[in-house]
Structure 1
């Protein structure tokens, strides 16, 4: 992939570029609609992630938005037109599930509004970095709805039941500073430093073994899915499985030989 921005074929709603070795930057590109998550946008995002998953040289993905928003939620006009079918659309739900199951590390670089489905998309990412101007919220209650793509389950696990209830039941907007204090994001940086900082973290991750980082991601995510005893057993099984990779043994040899490991992604 070239160093210049590459449009995904026949797609203008998601753009991609490779800003550094091993890092793929994806931008939601519907700024006139604040990157509202239409079915087509999600489909194009999934295609980009599928390509990244199959590309061995990609070690980490950064996801951000074009313009003033990361993503300002679902496509309300589509909901009004199609009703429940806009949500329960089997293809849309399957796309969302596949994005959720993306194996490689992904960083959300939140450049502006992350509301409703936009926040839920953030919650599918592994690390969330926010610009100072970023705003987070679940405003669905204001239009007679509530989050339906994971926020009612994932948000309390990050910020606690009380604050999650406050966000969901009032539709309040949360600043980046508050989001960091509550544990929703890992870092807040100056607006102009957002992509630079995300790239710094992504590049660090990309230097690690692309065969091993998915194991680590699965193990950490298990902490949000399993009781402790089951989670520990799952961690153990993944550790045993990882010993079968060449990179696991290369890392051990490199440590003993006091040199940097030469990972091959196998």
Structure 2
């Protein structure tokens, strides 16, 4: 990946992860068609060469929503294309775990992009909300079904129907975020979370995510994934080290 090729993203590639920063500072990082296309490019790379993903926003805001000027011009045909929803579902299905580090506003499409990540960690000023009905539309890029899965039907309806915004502490209480940390430590803590995952078997992480995201396929999916892992050298090495360490204790 080459960060100079992107207009709306800052992309940093490391050995075991990719850090993507939404970067439209003049528009509160609003999700435009250009940003969608560039995020698809990132997904292309992560599907070809799976790595962990850290997604965050520039300038004390995650994403203030979709680009309203673009939404105004979209009609039925564009809605049926699922421009945002297809991308967010692709993010959801990336092979390796994804983390959204959210500070400031994550509204509308910005919130839905955060919901599509496997985990979210928040700064103290994070705010999640879906005000789409106030604009005459619905949160059609995953929030209407993904948010109830994340926080339960009651809280989801408070957000989606009653226009409630979830601040950082409310998001933590609802289980939407894993932790709330000081803003100056947000990226460090997000990387620490990725570090913990990176110490696990990459194959085990991929298969665990695949099984968790496959409702209705159990227990067959569990058995098939476990069968693959049981035959791997990584499993044998890790369990042998565990038993040797315990025997020395």
Shared fold (TM-score, shorter chain, > 0.5): yes
- Which residue of the partner structure matches residue 152 of structure 2? 160
CA separation in 2, counterparts of 1:127 and 1:91? 23
8 Å CA contact retained: 2:122, 2:181? yes
Q: Which of 6, 9, 16 is equivalent to 1:14?
A: 9
Matching of residue 26 in structure 1 with residue 13 in structure 2: no
| 1:86 Cα deviation after fit | 3.7
| 1:93 Cα deviation after fit | 5.0
| Stretch of structure 1 that moved more, 45-54 or 68-77 | 45-54
CA RMSD for the aligned pairs? 2.2
Count of residues paired in the alignment: 246
- Which residue of the partner structure matches residue 185 of structure 1? 177
Deviations 1:160-187 (A, max 9, x none): 2111111111222211100110111111
- Which residue of the partner structure matches residue 198 of structure 2? 206
Q: Which of 149, 165, 169 is equivalent to 1:173?
A: 165
Structure 1 49/207 Cα, relative in aligned 2: closer, same or farther at 3 Å? farther
Structure 1 61/81 Cα, relative in aligned 2: closer, same or farther at 3 Å? same
| 1:193 Cα deviation after fit | 1.0
Is there any run of 5+ residues in structure 1 with no aligned partner, and where? 260-266
- Which residue of the partner structure matches residue 100 of structure 1? 92
CA separation in 1, counterparts of 2:9 and 2:25? 11
Q: Secondary structure at the match of 1:128?
A: strand
Using the size of structure 1 for normalisation, the TM-score is 0.83
Structure 1 8/210 Cα, relative in aligned 2: closer, same or farther at 3 Å? farther
8 Å CA contact retained: 1:8, 1:48? no
| 1:67 Cα deviation after fit | 1.6
| 1:256 Cα deviation after fit | 4.1
- Which residue of the partner structure matches residue 246 of structure 1? 233
Is there any run of 5+ residues in structure 2 with no aligned partner, and where? none
Structure 1 172/133 Cα, relative in aligned 2: closer, same or farther at 3 Å? same
Matching of residue 109 in structure 1 with residue 101 in structure 2: yes
8 Å CA contact retained: 1:79, 1:86? no
Using the size of structure 2 for normalisation, the TM-score is 0.89
